[in-house]
Every structure is written in C-alpha cells, then in structure tokens.
Amino acid sequence: MDWLFDPLAYEFIRNAMIAGILAGVLCPVVGTYLIVQRMSLLGNVLSHSVLPGLAIAHFLRWDLLIGAFIFGMLSTGVITWVKAQSRIKADAIMALTLAAFFALGVALLTILRSTLDLESLLFGDLLSVTRADLWHMGLITLGLLATVKLFYKELLFFTFDPSGAEAMGLPVTVINWGLTAAVTLTIVTGMKAVGVILVIALMVGPALTAFLLVKELHWMMIVGAALGAVASIIGIYLSYYLDIPSGPTIALAVFALFLVALMVSPSQGILTRNAASQQK
C-alpha cells in the first residue's frame, strides 16, 4: 500500500488533494442545474469569460476572485441583453460571447504585460495550491452548498418549470442571476484544480455520469459530488506517478467514469440495454 500513502508525505500533495476534493464536490452540484436546464454551454462561456477579469485584477493587484466574478457576470449580462434586443438564438450568442471575452483576456494579458502564467490559468496548477487558497475554496464551497440546501425547493421548482415558478410569484430573475453567480464562483473555485478551460469537465462530467445512474435531482447532486471527488483523487495520483499536469488527468478521470456509467447504467447503459434486448 506504499503507492497509496507515499504521495501524502508531501504537503503540496495533501493541499492538492483537499483542493481537488472541494472542487470535485462543488462543481457537479452546481453543474447539475446546468445539465437539467440544458444550459451546459453557459458554463463553458463563463469559464472562458473570466480571463479578462483575471488579467485586470492581477494588473491592479486585486484578488483574482473579484476580477473573475465581475467579468463572469458581465458576460452573462451581455448574453441577456443581446437576446432581449434581437431574435438571435441563445446558443449562437453564447458562442460569440465566449470567443470575444476569451480573446479579450488573451489580448489584455499581452497589453498589460501580465506575469500571470497563462498555461496554469487555462489548465490548472493544483500542486501550487496554498493554505490561503484552501481557505478561500472551503468558504466558497460551504457557502454555495449551504445556499443550495436552503433554497433547494425554490431551485427545484425553477429548474423544471420556470413559467410555473414565475406564476407562483417566485423571483425568477433573481434566481436566474443567483445561479449565474453560483456558476461563476464555482468556476473560480475549480480554476486552481483544472484551469478555466477544463473546469467545465468537472462541472458537467460527474453530473452527466450521475444522470445516467439516478433519477432524482438531489441524488444526482450527491452522486455527482462523490464522483467528482473520486475523479479528482484519481487524477492527482495519476499526475503524481505519471509526471503529467493534474488538470488534464482529472478531466480524463471524469471522462473515464462517464464511459463506465454509459456502459453499465441500469436504465441507459449500452451493455445493460443490449443484455435486456437479448433476453427478450
């Protein structure tokens, strides 16, 4: 069992493990709402749109969280405004916004002569996580999970029947912006683990895998969170022993778990479906 415990002798591995588990738990819980609402592309947009905020915040010596949050919310505002002013489909607006904000971020990193490590921002640098980073991640994770728990019934109603929720008097605009803020904060939390590009894999992958295994929303969150944590742990061990970046290994572990579920899912699995058809 030395292979299991040897990496934990290093503090940076222990920090990475805690950060990976926090991101692995939080990302699928919030990502579940994106899956159910068929808004996964929004997560992709937000994960790329925070880059200009990171560049500006670093230049002004602000906390990177502030810049990322502002530009994440700004990109959603742009999408909402364009959608209200035209008949353009939401997915087309999102695709264009993603490209524009990401391009702006790359341009600002050059113009401001930023010393930010672009590769770490895009693909993560989990092994550089500090105790301060863990405190930030822990507080955001606890805050968002507590919020989801507190407003679960309202979020459930809004997720499956937005029109009905509005008719019942729920503040759907506030809920919608609240979910956007939650997605943005989740992306910032997962950024250290897998980077702004691969964080969408941690948000969507475990939630999709859980969707294949369970039916109810709360079980989808619980199973997704467990799968996200497991994928993070597997990815960190693979990163340590194969000497490759942790972000891609976590994303690949997420995809591997999804493929397993796709094969053996009780209701939608390829193997189980074939076996059932052969019995008939």
> Which SS3 state, helix, strand or coil, does residue 112 take?
coil
Q: Which pLDDT tens digit goes with each residue over 69-114? A: 899 899 988 988 998 888 888 889 989 999 999 999 889 988 888 7
- Unique residue bearing structure tokens 């749109």: 49
The number of distinct structural domains making up the chain is 1
* Domain span including residue 185: 2-279
Judge residue 127's burial from the number of C-beta atoms within 10 Å of its C-beta, 0-12 exposed, 13-18 middle, 19 or more buried.
Answer: middle
Consecutive 10-residue averages of pLDDT for the chain (280 residues): 81 89 92 86 84 88 86 90 87 90 90 76 76 88 93 88 84 87 86 77 92 90 95 92 88 94 84 65
**pTM as predicted:** 0.86
Residue at 45: amino acid letter: V
**What does the radius of gyration of the chain's CA atoms come to, in whole angstroms?**
19
CA 139 from centroid of its chain's CA atoms: 16
How far is residue 12's CA from residue 28's CA, in Å, rounded to a whole number?
Answer: 24
Cα–Cα distances (Å) from 38 to 35, 42, 43, in that order, read 5, 9, 11
Q: Which residues contact 83 (CB under 8 A, 6 or more apart)?
A: 90, 93
Q: Which residues contact 81 (CB under 8 A, 6 or more apart)?
A: none
Predicted pLDDT at 279: 60
Which tokens hold the place of 234?
Answer: 């597997």
Which tokens hold the place of 258?
Answer: 């999804």
Contact between 249 and 242 under an 8 Å Cβ cutoff? The reply is yes
Q: CATH number of the domain that 103 lies in?
A: 1.10.3470.10
Which tokens hold the place of 89?
Answer: 């489909």
DSSP class per residue in 82-143: HHHHS---HHHHHHHHHHHHHHHHHHHHHHTT----HHHHHH--GGG--HHHHHHHHHHHHH
